[in-house]
Every structure is written in C-alpha cells, then in structure tokens.
Amino acid sequence: MAWYIVRRVLQGIPVFFGSTFIIYSMVFAMPGNPILRMFGDRTPSEAQLAALEAKYHLDQDFFTRYFLYLGDILQGDLGTTYAGQSVNEILARTFPTTLRLAILAVLIQLIAGVIVGLISGLRKGGIFDSTALIVSLVLISIPVFVLAFVSQWFFGIELGWVRPTVGPGAPWEDLLLPAFVLAALNFAYVVRLTRGSVIETSQEDFVRMAYGKGLPKRRVIPVHILRNSMIPVTTSIAQDFGILIVGATVTEGVFNVPGVGNELFRAINRHDTPEIVSIVTILVIVYVFVNLLVDLLYGVLDPRIRYVKK
Amino acid sequence: MSRSNPVRVAPRYVAEVDEGGLGAVDAVRVSDRKSNLWLDAWRDLRSRWMFWVSAVVILFIVFVALFPGVFTQVPPNDECYLSNSDGPPQPGHPLGFTKQGCDVFSRIVHGAGTSLSVGIIVTVLVAVMGIVIGAFAGFFGGWLDSFLMRIGDIFFAIPYVLAAVVVMTMFLHERNILIISLAIGFFSWPGTARILRSEILRVKQYDYVMASEALGLSKFRTMFTHVLPNSITPLIIMSTVGLAAAITAEATLSFLGVGLPNNIFMSWGNDIAAAQGSLRTNPLTLIYPSIALSVTVLAFIMLGETVREALDPKARATR
C-alpha cells in the first residue's frame, strides 16, 4: 500500500506542474500590456511602469515568472483582481458555500443514483429499468443552464415552492434546488454505473454461493452485491468532479449562490482575466487533488488495484 | 495459368451434413448470409426504435442547418425592432420575439448551423488528435507511450469547459466558430486517445498483426492497414457522444458570455442567456431555444447509445 501511495503521488506531480503551466502560458500568450490596462485611459510615466513591472516580475523571462507565480500559489498568495481585491479573500468568503452546495449535490446524486441503479440492475429489462434508462438519457442531454433556468422558473416562479434565488447567508433550504440541479448532471452516470456494476456482480460466484447457503435477499443485496458494486461508483465521483465544477459555475450564477462558481461566473461576465485565471487555476489544483485522494481511496477499497500489472 | 489451360479447377467442396467425423467440422455453409461486425451491427440497429428516432431527428437538424431559408424568410438579426420587444407570436413570426425584438423562430432555425458546425469541427479535431496520439502511444509503446500518456494526464486534469473559458477570454475580440471549436477540442482529446490506445494494445496481440510483420510489412503499414481499422469501433461511439458534448460546451460558453458574439452568430446558448432577463415575464423565449438545444443533444446521445449497444457484443449480452 505504501508503494501504491508513493507511486500515485509521484504521478500527480507532473500533472500539477503541467496543468498550471498550460493555464499560465495561455495567459502569457495574451496580447497587450497588463500594466497599461491597469491604468485605463491614463498614461503612466516611465518610472511608474518600471516600478510596476518589477513588482509583478514582468521584467523577468517566462519560466522565471511561472515559477515565481507557482511559488506565490504554494505560499498561499493567489493574486489580485483588476479591482484590486485579493483572490484569497474572495475564496475564503465564497468557498464554504460552494462546499456545502457540492456536498449536498453529491449526497443527492449518490443516494438517488445508487438506489435507482440498484433497482434497475436487479430487475434489468423491466419497466422500471427501461424508464430509468430513458430518463437518464434525457437528463444527460439537458445542458445544466437549461435545467437551472427551467427549474428556477417552474419551482421558483410558477409553483412558488422555493425562493428562485438564494437569500443572504445561503441557508440550507435555499441551496436545495440548486443542489438538485447540480446533482441531476451526474445522477444519470451514477445510475448507469451502478446498474452495470450490479448486473455484473449479481452473476459472480460468491453471490450464487451466498444464495446457495440460504442467506436471505435482504442480506445478499446490501452486503454482497451492493458493496462490491460501489467500487467503480466511488471513482466516478472523482472523474465527474470536472462536470461538477463547471456545473457549479453555471448553477451558482443562475441561482445567485454566493460561492466560488458565482464569483467565476461574474468574473467571466466582467472579463476580469486575472480573477478568471486565479480561480480556474485553483479549481484545477483542487481537481487534481480530489483525483489523487479518490485514487488512494480506491486502493483502500479494492486491494487488486495496488499491484501494478507489468 | 492461362484461360486455355485444360487443367480443371476443382469445384469448392462442401461436405454433406451427415458425413460425420472431421469432414463435417470443415464444412462451410456457403449459402449462409455473409456476416461481419458492421453487418451484424446494422441488423441490430435496424430493429431499434431509438436508432430510427435519433437518425430522423439528426437528418432533420442537418437539413435545417443546410437550408434555413426553407423554414423562415425572416433574417435572424437584421430586422429587430425594439417595438416588438418580447412580443407575442404574429403571422410570419410563429414563436414571437426576443427582448431585442428579433424573431425567435428565425434565430432558432439559424442557430442549428452554428451548433452543428462547432460539433463537427470539434469531433473531427478530437478524433484526429486522439487517433494520432493514441495510435502512436499504443503501437510504438515504450518511452513514447509514457510521454504521450503523461501529456494526456495533464490535459485531462483541466476540465475542458474551464480551459475553453480561459482561451476564449484571451480571444475576446476575434471570437468565431473556428476559435471556439479549437478551444473546446484542444482540451478534450485525452479521453479519445486513452481509449484508442488501450484498444490498440488489445488488437496488437492478435496473430494477424504478427503475420503482417512476418510478411515484411513496415510498422506504419501494419498499423494503418491492420491495427487501426480494427481498433476504430470505440472511436465511433465516443465521437457521436462527443459531438453532443461539444454542442453543449459551445452553448455553455455562449451562455457564460465568452462564446460566440450575440450580434453576429446565432447560437442557442446566446439566446438562452439573453432570455434570462425575461424569465418572469416571457419564459417561452427561453424555453424554445432550450428545447432545440436539448433535442439536438439528446438525438446524438441516443444515436451514440444505440450504436454502442449494436457494436459491443458484451453490452448486447448483458441486456
């Protein structure tokens, strides 16, 4: 297990450097002098320009700047927006809300997805199964902003069950509708993965054995079938994390949830490049770490994965 | 052997069923229909209602994209009068007007071309990059494989919509269909490359590949004539679903405000974004382009799903 952890962490290092480097080089390729942009219509003096270029390391070459930037990030300084706000402060303010929304969404998609997938898999070919498959196809097809608007209009305005936008402080009950929208994105994938996994596990010898020795269904299904079917579902949560990040940006924007996604949504609307790049970089780093964590968890859940096939 | 040669060519021998012994094992029922993967898949596809529904919808959307003039005479952008803002349907304007007073129906009809173009360009780009990178990594192996796959890991670690957001912010003043397609495609190839690589690793072990090399064919020739054609199936499935994902990505970027400029290109994502201000007063201007977008994406996903089931014998068995 120790070797598995070491190997997996070592694999993560080039990904971390590579992905931050790609984003950084894209910004570097951007035309125009960012210092001049800070001054807007005014023309700065030579001395001002030189001082600011030195301050932001613009007089250094590309690689030096990348490593200075990376050093700043690793020390916890994420830069400032055009408006001069610290990205750290913005993230500190918004991150807890996004975390609550994401946890709620992942819980909903997992619980609902696993239950539906389990029933589908146990009774494959039945009416429930066929309906679930078609509903999941339709859900995959609806873009997240369409789903967000339609549910906002239907549940928030037509029926009036919930507030159409999230109120101050983002109470849990206001987060419920955005969380359902966010959960709908990956719900379909969880259903299909669970279903396939359950069908496969149900044909295993140990399941036949469990039935053979007289265990009741209420023990075989949760303990023998479901537990062994959960392994691929666990990793899928990490892989779908990318969808969750993009989904959160759109959902938080539509429902005005005061989270990181909403901040990114607004930054995109304002074309605030430094803020967009800082937030995207942070999200990519979070994504890399979540994938690392889930891979390690995968190794704990399924011992077979720890051994390398040569 | 010339035609005048009197040597008689023996007729193909077909064993009688009751012959017994090894002779019967060698017997080939030549009267049977020919069969291969694609014929089998086509027979399987023909019997599915989902295939026909999605095929008809896709053909219809392609027709709309190619000939928008057949459906509407109203220009989508040039005849927008604010006096019509959020107006109800009128004769010649079956779905009413947007907040800017443009014809909703005409914008939806003209938006089909945008969505399809982006979808097709991204799919071709991703397929080419995926084939080249995946094939080289899988077929040549070694350090090239490790190197290419690590690069793939890096690109895989960046959610492609987020990457496209950054790219599009850079190109804010020169946004067009090609740039948005490149921005989406350039970050979505690793999945295709990975799958093609693992498929090539599988196919590479077959005897016919060794036979081809034993016959003296070069590595490249073997790869292009024997390995690649036999590894292409998963790529077709991925491309169909990928086309749907690219359409969604374009709409999402346009919705976020870094997609195609609203006044030049007709994009369903733009129209949905523009309609959000009238959500309370005129929700239908938002619903119509949403339906067009969702139905298009659904058609491609359904097609990918049926083709996957038809081509994948394992999926057929567990059904």
Give the span between the Cα atoms of B247 and A141, in whole angstroms.
Answer: 10
> Which whole-number Å values give the CA distances from B12 to A152, B8, B9, B15, B26, in the listed order?
72, 12, 9, 10, 12
| Across B263-276, average pLDDT | 81
Give the span between the Cα atoms of A277 and A285, in whole angstroms.
Answer: 12
> CA of B165: which chain A residue's CA is closest?
A268
pLDDT at B3: 47
Range with the largest mean pLDDT of B24-28, B48-52, B283-287, B297-301: B297-301
Q: Which residue has the higher pLDDT, B60 or B213?
A: B60
Would you tell me how many other CB atoms lie within 10 Å of the CB of residue A118? 20
Question: Which of A104-108, B9-13, B140-144 is the least confident region?
Answer: B9-13
| pTM of the complete model | 0.82
pLDDT at B31: 61
**Residue A80, beta-bridge partner list:** A86
| Across A17-34, average pLDDT | 75
pLDDT at B162: 86
Give the span between the Cα atoms of B301 and B242, in whole angstroms.
Answer: 9
Cβ contact A299:A306 at 8 Å: yes
- Per CB-CB distance under 8 Å, the chain B contacts of A250 are 252, 255-256
User: What is the ipTM, given to two decimal places?
Assistant: 0.81
* Residue B103 identity (one-letter amino acid): D
> CA of B278: which chain A residue's CA is closest?
A153
pLDDT at B218: 85
**Residue A310 banded pLDDT, cuts 50, 70, 90:** very low
Cβ contact A109:A186 at 8 Å: yes
Q: Which residue has the higher pLDDT, B267 or A58?
A: B267
pLDDT at A260: 87
Q: How many residues does chain B have?
A: 319
Dmax over CA atoms of chain B, in Å, equals 92
Contacts of B47 (CB under 8 A, 6+ apart): none
CB contact under 8 A, A269 and B257: yes
Six-digit token pair at B250?
Answer: 């374009």
pLDDT at B15: 52
Give the span between the Cα atoms of B84 and B100, in whole angstroms.
Answer: 8
Q: Which residue has the higher pLDDT, B316 or A125?
A: A125
The percent of residues above 70 in pLDDT, for chain A, comes to 89
pLDDT at B11: 57
Range 254-313 of B in CB contact (< 8 A) with A = 255-258, 269, 272-273, 276, 279-280, 283, 286-287, 290, 293-294, 297-298, 301-302, 305
CB contact under 8 A, B256 and A153: no
Range with the largest mean pLDDT of A275-289, B87-101, B123-137: B123-137
Would you tell me how many other CB atoms lie within 10 Å of the CB of residue B14? 12
Alpha helices per DSSP H over chain B: 21-26, 37-46, 49-66, 104-140, 142-156, 160-170, 177-185, 190-203, 207-214, 219-222, 228-231, 233-256, 268-275, 284-311, 313-317
- Whether B56 shows a pLDDT value over 90: the answer reads yes
pLDDT at A54: 72
The percent of residues above 70 in pLDDT, for chain B, comes to 79
Tens of pLDDT along A163-194? Answer: 777 777 767 777 888 888 888 888 888 898 88
CB contact under 8 A, A280 and B151: no
- Whether B10 shows a pLDDT value over 60: the answer reads no
Q: How far apart are the first and last CA of chain A?
A: 17
Categorise residue B32: left if φ over 0, alpha if ψ from -120 to 50, beta otherwise: beta
pLDDT at B128: 92
Categorise residue B223: left if φ over 0, alpha if ψ from -120 to 50, beta otherwise: alpha
**Residue B208 banded pLDDT, cuts 50, 70, 90:** confident
B114 and chain A in contact, CB less than 8 A: no
Question: Which of A85-89, A253-257, B202-206, B241-245 is the least confident region?
Answer: A85-89
Burial degree of A31 (CB within 10 A; 0-12, 13-18, 19+): exposed
- Whether B280 shows a pLDDT value over 80: the answer reads no
Q: Considering just the CA atoms, what is the radius of gyration of chain B in Å? A: 26
| Across A272-298, average pLDDT | 82
Question: Which of A122-126, A205-209, B236-240, B275-279 is the least confident region?
Answer: B275-279
pLDDT at B123: 94
Query: What distance in Å separates residue A242's CA from the closest CA in chain B?
Result: 5
Tens of pLDDT along B158-203? Answer: 888 888 888 888 877 778 888 899 989 988 888 889 888 888 888 8
Residue from B241, B279, B295 whose CB has the most chain A CBs within 10 Å, to mutate: B279
Three-class SS string for chain A? CHHHHHHHHHHHHHHHHHHHHHHHHHHHCCCCCHHHHHHCCCCCCHHHHHHHHHHCCCCCCHHHHHHHHHHHHHCCCCCECCCCCEHHHHHHHHHHHHHHHHHHHHHHHHHHHHHHHHHHHHCCCCHHHHHHHHHHHHHHHCCHHHHHHHHHHHHHHHCCCCCCCCCCCCCHHHHHHHHHHHHHHHHHHHHHHHHHHHHHHHCCHHHHHHHHCCCCHHHHHHHHHHHHHHHHHHHHHHHCHHHHHHHHHHHHHHHCCCCHHHHHHHHHHHCCHHHHHHHHHHHHHHHHHHHHHHHHHHHHHCHHHHCCCC
Q: Which residues of A60-91 are buried (b: 16+ CB within 10 A; e: fewer)?
A: eeeeebbeebbeebeeeebbbbbeeeebeebb
Q: Which residue has the higher pLDDT, A88 or A37?
A: A88
B225 and chain A in contact, CB less than 8 A: no
Query: What distance in Å separates residue A129's CA from the closest CA in chain B?
Result: 11
pLDDT at A39: 67
* Residue A24 identity (one-letter amino acid): Y
Q: Which of A196, A200, A280 sits opposite B162 (nearest CB)?
A: A280
Cα A203–Cα B36–Cα B314 angle in degrees, nearest 5 = 15
Residue entry with tokens 């969604």:
B248
pLDDT at B139: 81
| Across A268-273, average pLDDT | 79
pLDDT at B7: 54
Give the span between the Cα atoms of A140 and B294, in whole angstroms.
Answer: 9
Tens of pLDDT along B114-157? Answer: 889 999 999 999 999 998 998 888 888 888 888 888 888 888 88
Would you give the distance in Å from CA B121 to the centre of its chain?
A: 10
CB contact under 8 A, A152 and B161: no
Tens of pLDDT along A252-266? Answer: 888 888 888 888 888
Cβ contact A118:A221 at 8 Å: yes
> CA of A288: which chain B residue's CA is closest?
B157
- Whether B291 shows a pLDDT value over 60: the answer reads yes
CB contact under 8 A, B170 and A143: no
- Count A/B contacts: CB-CB distance under 8 Å: 134
pLDDT at B27: 56
Question: Which of A142-146, A228-232, B19-23 is the least confident region?
Answer: B19-23
CB contact under 8 A, A145 and B252: yes
The overall average pLDDT reported for chain A is 81
Give the span between the Cα atoms of B112 and B63, in whole angstroms.
Answer: 9
pLDDT at A223: 80
> Which whole-number Å values give the CA distances from A20 to A71, A210, B151, in the listed order?
12, 50, 13
Give the span between the Cα atoms of B161 and B251, in whole angstroms.
Answer: 11
